[in-house]
Structure 1
Amino acid sequence: MYENARYKEIAVLKEIAELLNEGTETKTVLAEVLSKLLHVTGLHTGWIFLIDEKGSHQLVAHESLPPALANNNHRRMCNGDCWCVNRYYNRKLTKATNIIECKRIEEAIEEKAGATFDLTHHATVPLRAGDERFGLLNVGSPNKTHFQQEELDLLEAIAFQIGTALKRIKLTQREQEMVLIAERNRLARDLHDSVNQLLFSLSLTARAGIEMSEANDVKQTFSYLQDMAQEALGEMKALIWQMKPQGLENGIASAITGYAEMLGLEIETKVTGIVCLPGKVEEALWRIGQEALANCKKHAETKEVLLTFTGSKESVIMSIEDNGCGFHYDNNLEIPSLGLKSMKARTDALNGTFFLTSTPGIGTKIEIHIPI
């Protein structure tokens, strides 16, 4: 009997290890692993929280949650605190723990929020790899109020596997980001050394043609070619800036200010607070700033722009404001342009908040709040 149980445990670990080894996207991997775990162990319900350094949790995978927990788009699971998350954050929960009475379920019962399908307790297991922590795995079944030690040992082994896979995915994503940055920098160098030089040569040739020609129609043709070459040079310079921002090593405010000056805008910059931004946040703010300044250049009918940064330990706020022509905008309607949608999408991807205000004849303001 003991050997059969050991063989089953090894088979479970093997199946889950195979899933974890193949996955590259966190939420997809965790959803598949949770489903497989419940199937092979005979448990009914489970959910996984990822928890950041500040103790904020995110529901990233769930299976067969009762209506009391699933109602209103899992609001009860996404908001508020609970015993297991608090204990995890305070580093008092370090191993698979036998049944925990679920505060979320107790509150749902008290509030008569829906059926619980007799789920009253759950086991909880921290997800970690070495000293690095990622969140919690919670599992339970209707009317189950106790886990055997062997069950907890298996859950803990699986949790270690999940933690190791999460670390691998994190490192892989970081490596991919570095590869993309390196490739973008290479393309920027190539464009500067080849296309940029060709356009510069074309501009010089057209200028020489103007000076050497006597016929007005020929002079006009060369003048037209020179204007096009100069415009293309400007576009190429902006493209190279977008791919390889000069000055980003001196901070995001410096980089955006330099980009505005390159576009010919007169920018005033105000910075309050000093904060070291994560790479993803800095990259997002840089791309949003580029798009906002490009809009000012193309549509605002003004050269004056105000850039404001406010940093703290909890968040960074960036605003870009012009006193240009503005446009009619209703917050209740869909965002009107692809560029603005892109800015909002980048903000949403970092759990930030995007604000847009614009009034005809007064100007436009874009404000980004991103937690860090």
Structure 2
Amino acid sequence: MTDQFDHSGRPGRSRDAAATNEQWRERYADTVMNTFGTPARVLVRGEGAHLWDADGREYIDLLAGIAVNCLGHAHPAIVAAVSEQIATLGHVSNVFTSPAQVRLAEQVVELVFPGARPGRSKAFLANSGTEANEAAFKIVRRHGGSARPRVLALVDAFHGRTMGALALTYKAAYRRPFEPLPGGVEFVPAGDVDALRSALGPDVAALFVEPIQGEAGVRELPSGYLETARELTSAVGALLVVDEVQTGMGRTGAWMAHHLLAPGVTPDVVTLAKGLGGGMPIGATVATGRAAELLEPGQHGTTFGGNPVAAAAALAVIDTIRREDLLARVTSLGERWAERLEAVDAVTQVRGRGLLRGVGLADAVGPAGEVADELGRRGFIVNAPRPDTLRLAPPFVLSDADADAFTAALADLLSTRGRTGAS
């Protein structure tokens, strides 16, 4: 095929401008590894909580890139911060640092461990949630050494797909193709204090937990579990690692979900990503006390982690959430929306906090994946982490009207599927 050129001499731009969803999908299949399956649609533009695809259809985004775009799409604060930073300093090697990196590390430490003494808590800046958990895993190994070879995680946990993070992830379909994985990881039932007590001992280096298990269907750990986990891990000298990749950065209405669910608990290590950059790739591993000093020069690193552009975006996210009081907005909208969703026929339960919600569906309406697909055709982007659950993780700037429009569309769809036997 002969490339078409636009007026600037760049190949393919005029052809791209006219390409449809189907044409983009064909090109995707020819060039992109099949790790995600066929894309549902090709998205070309976003503004606030709305998206448009290559065919010009508009959608209300209730997934936000799976809890990433917390300020929505094309937020002016992020656009300005990224534009200014890339025009000033885009990247330096980790032999150096930048003011944006230092400022972000200071801010993240304060958000995770409010009131911590200067120098006691520190951050490692990475590019993603799985990388943040890889760094946490290495901290755990440094803590445990040969005397503490065991690491505990929870049934239905999801901590990422790189080899170390995958070893901490429960789902067999993710794990089996890549075994043998890094050893020593054992899974205990989520929320079962007796099982945790039996599993813990002086040979355990750490326990990894998510305050709300997103891939399990947005399931919150039972009241008191994190407090008991902290008590039991401390008693045997094990680290407590809290994965806030999906739940952190205001998603539940607090900066960290564990602040909300267990305000008296101080973990040793907390991992962040997703909403931290508001769409830019960034993650953070934040540790306190001795855990903050375990990794020494040469024991861990990253080329792009903490780069000035991603750090500037994250600083803009933090500033905007504070300035616009979005934690309060997340709480109020989340509670109102959950109440209205619970009133929908064939909705069995609404789980979660703030704007991270799992909507349980009755068997009569069929698989949640089919419901999510039909909602997409009606202009709403959601996903189905479990066969009986829809996940909602929209931008914090979602309007009441958009939330209500989804509730009405869901009620109509479930009523139709219930009458027709989900055929």
TM-score w.r.t. length of structure 2: 0.27
Higher helix share: 1
| Larger Rg, first or second structure (1 or 2) | 1
**Larger RCO: Structure 1 or Structure 2 (Cα < 8 Å, ≥ 6 residues apart)?**
2
TM-score w.r.t. length of structure 1: 0.29
